[in-house]
Amino acid sequence: MLAAETEFNRSIGDLSGRMPKVLRIGCFEPFGALFMPEMLRSYLDSVGDVEIDLVEADQIQLQERLVAGQIDLAILYDIGPIGIDSVTRVCKVPAHAVLNADDPLATRDGIWLAELAARPLVLLDLPHTATYLLTLFDVLAKRPEVRFRTRSYETVRSAVATGFGMAILKMRPIGRATADGDEIVRKPIFDELPPPTLIVADMYGSAKPLFVRVFIEMFHRFFTAVGPGGFSVTTPEREPFLLVARDG
């Protein structure tokens, strides 16, 4: 363990001449504002300045761009088909409910999907995301009426704040500039749902270049430091199981 830490620190000290000038990272669209700048800040504070080219795309586009060599890394969920073999699992992010603060359910400790199904839905309409979400309802409750469709996490939040209905999201915002307003409330869902896992995918397999290894290590440290209470909305008894062990 100590040897690994020493090796890691040596690698970093050694990195200045071996970093690409531009770091080309793909991430699932909502992650761009939710945590990427914070995470990249801590990465650059350690390894020195590089230009960041952040490619925000959907789960399908990210895998295509990775295979085409347009990005060095992709950060996504393991929902839907993942055709990339070289994957590092970071943490599980359970779905939670996003309610207008005026909703009577907003005072509760948590909510059942069957209760949410009676409300109109503001749907994050991205490939696989919408399927994952509607499948949960189909399995555990009746499907809610879709009232508002959008590709944007931020628009989902605005639409719930403006009274269009409830939403189901996974990640909670971590970035400094995207805090929720007073008009929305996030609550755990009591049902046992399969939580998507946040993964870092690359095309290098066991031959990862140093900057990729360092990025993945920093990424894992970032989510460990933020902790389940910072990135997820879930019940207290589930929180201890959300972080994936470093070699997991």
SS (H, E, C) the chain: CHHHHHHHHHHHHCCHHHCCCEEEEEEECCHHHHCHHHHHHHHHHHHCCCEEEEEEECHHHHHHHHHCCCCCEEEEECCCCCCCCEEEEEEECCCEEEEECCCHHHHCCCECHHHHCCCCEEEECCCCHHHHHHHHHHHHCCCCCEEEEECCHHHHHHHHHCCCCEEEECCCCCCCCCCCCCCEEEEEECCCCCCCEEEEEECCCCCCCHHHHHHHHHHHHHHHHHCHHHHCCCCCCCHHHCECCCCC
What is the C-alpha separation between 117 and 138, in angstroms, rounded? 10
- Rank residues 159 and 193 by Cβ distance to its own copies and give the closer one: 159
Shortest distance (Å) from residue 8 CB to its own copies? 23
- Rank residues 136 and 185 by Cβ distance to its own copies and give the closer one: 185
- Rank residues 32 and 228 by Cβ distance to its own copies and give the closer one: 32
- Rank residues 51 and 237 by Cβ distance to its own copies and give the closer one: 51
62: left (phi over 0), alpha (psi -120 to 50) or beta: alpha
Residues near its own copies (CB under 8 A) are 29, 32-33, 36-38, 40-41, 49, 51-56, 146-152, 154-155, 157-164, 175-181, 183-184
- Rank residues 148 and 211 by Cβ distance to its own copies and give the closer one: 148
- Rank residues 49 and 247 by Cβ distance to its own copies and give the closer one: 49
Shortest distance (Å) from residue 172 CB to its own copies? 14
Shortest distance (Å) from residue 118 CB to its own copies? 16
| Helical pair 210-226 and 2-13, crossing angle rounded to 10 deg | 120
What is the C-alpha separation between 124 and 107, in angstroms, rounded? 24
Shortest distance (Å) from residue 139 CB to its own copies? 23
Shortest distance (Å) from residue 48 CB to its own copies? 13
- Rank residues 41 and 246 by Cβ distance to its own copies and give the closer one: 41
Shortest distance (Å) from residue 100 CB to its own copies? 10
Shortest distance (Å) from residue 116 CB to its own copies? 18
